Amino acid sequence: MSSMNGHSIRTLLIIEDNPGDIRLLREMLAESDPHQSEIIHAETIQEAVQHLANKAVDIILLDLGLPDAQGLAAIKSVRAAAPQIPLVVLTGMDDEALALRSLQEGAQDYLVKGQVESRGLLRALRYATERKRLEKLKDEFVATVSHELRTPLTSISGSLGLLASGAGGTMPDHTTRLLRIAHSNCERLVRLVNDILDIEKLESGRLIFHLSKVEVRPLLEQAVKASQGFAESHGVRVRIGTGSIAPVHVRADADRLSQVMTNLLSNAIKFSARDEEVVVTIGTEVDLVRISVQDHGSGIPTEFRSRIFERFAQAGATDTRLKGGTGLGLAIVKQIMERLRGEVSFVDAPGGGTIFSVDLPSWEGKTDLSRERQIEADALLEAETSLDTLMEEVRELPGTRGKRGCLTA
C-alpha cells in the first residue's frame, strides 16, 4: 500500500470484532491496493495490545464498539499502547460530537461505516499516515528547541536570582527592581520549557511511571506546603478540608501525582480572588479515592469547557496576560491521570468557582475491582460472541447476505 511522499503502509492493524466487517474491509483494501499490505486482525483491545507488543505496525484502523472497550475508551486504550502510530476510527456511529472528541483524543481521522468506499478508505489511511508524520516532526522540533533552551535559561535564571538577592553587592533600588522582573519572567520561561518537555514525553509514552502504594494525605500536605509561597503572592489561602484522618492509599506514581496536585493547586490559586481560599478534600467510595480542589474564582466559561484539557488552552487572551501560565497544566494533569488509570473532571462549585477532582483506584480495593471488571468483560464478550454467531446465521438466510456490517452504501 503506497503512501504519500514515498512513505509506505506495510502493515495495517484492524481492531474489529464483527466478522462481516472484517471480510468486507479485506475485500475493499484488496480492490484498491494492488500491492496489498499485511493485515493483522484483533477482535479486542487486549488482543491488539499483545500484537503491538510483538510486532510493529504502520497504522491502526479501530472500531469503537469492542467487547472490552466502548467509544472513547477504545481510543484511549490504543493511544496508551501505541502513541506514535497513526489511528483511524471506522465506526457505525455517525455522531459529530463523538467524531470531534475522537480527534481530540488523538485519532487522525473518523470514518463512518456505510459512508466510505474502497478508494476513500485507502486515501484516508494515506492522509492519516502523513498527518501523523508531520505531527511527529513538529513535536520533535519543539522538544529539540526546548532541550536547547532549558540549560541556558536555568543558568540565566539562577544568575538573575543571585543578583536580585544582593549576592553581587548593593545595587540601586531601581536596578534591583528590574532584576527581579527579569528573574520572574525568566522563571516563567523555564516553567514553559519544562511543561513542553513533560507533555511531549507523556504523549510519546516516554515518561516512565513507577507505581506503588501511596498514602494520600501526606502527599497532599507536601503539595499544599509547596504552594504556599505562590498562594501568598496572590493573597490566597490554601488548606486541606476537615474529614476522616484514617490513612487512605492509592496505586500511583508519587512524583507524578504530586505534579498533578501542584498543577491543580496552581490553577486554583491563579483564578481565585484575593482573600479567598482554595480547599483540598479527600473522599472515598467502594473502590475509588477522590481528591478535589475547590477554588472561588469566576468559574469556567461554557464555550471553553470542551477545550479545557487541550494543550495551550486559555479561556481568553486576557487570562493569559493577567493570570500567567502556559496553558499546559491541565493538559499534563489529564495525560498523567490517564497513565495512572484514573480520571480528572470538574463541576461548578456552590456559590461560585470550580471544583476539579481526580479519581484513582483505591489500593485496598484494587484486587476486587479488577476481578469485577474481568467478570463483566467476560460476560460481555460471551454475549457479543453469541450475538455475532446469531447474526452470521441470519446473514446466510436468502435475501439477507451481507447487509449487516456493510461498509459501502
Q: What CATH number matches the domain at 212-361, 3.30.565.10, 3.40.50.620, 3.40.718.10, 3.40.50.920? A: 3.30.565.10
How many separate helices (H) and strands (E) can be counted in the chain?
A: 12, 14
Tell me the three cell numbers of residue 280. 483540598
Q: How much is the pLDDT for 281?
A: 93
Q: Determine the residue type at 146.
A: S
Per-domain residue ranges for the chain?
1-207, 212-361
pLDDT digits (tens, 9 = 90+) for 294-318: 998 888 888 888 788 887 766 654 4
Q: Quote the CA–CA distance of 128 and 60 in Å, as a whole number.
A: 10
- pTM of this prediction exceeds 0.75: no
Q: How much is the pLDDT for 367?
A: 43
Whether pLDDT at 389 is above 60: no
Whether pLDDT at 288 is above 50: yes
- Strand pairing category for 109-112 and 237-240: unpaired
Confidence tier at 406 by pLDDT (50, 70, 90): very low
Q: What does 75-116 look like in DSSP terms, one character per residue?
A: HHHHHHH-TTS-EEEEES---HHHHHHHHHTT-SEEEETTS-
Which residues, at least 6 apart from 108, have a Cβ–Cβ distance to it below 8 Å? Answer: 86, 87, 88, 127, 128, 129, 131, 132
User: Could you give the C-alpha distances from 172 to 176, 182, 359, in angstroms and in order?
Assistant: 6, 16, 51
**Superfamily per CATH, domain 1-207:** Response regulator (3.40.50.2300)
pLDDT digits (tens, 9 = 90+) for 14-66: 999 999 999 998 888 888 766 667 899 999 999 999 999 888 899 999 999 99
Q: How much is the pLDDT for 257?
A: 95
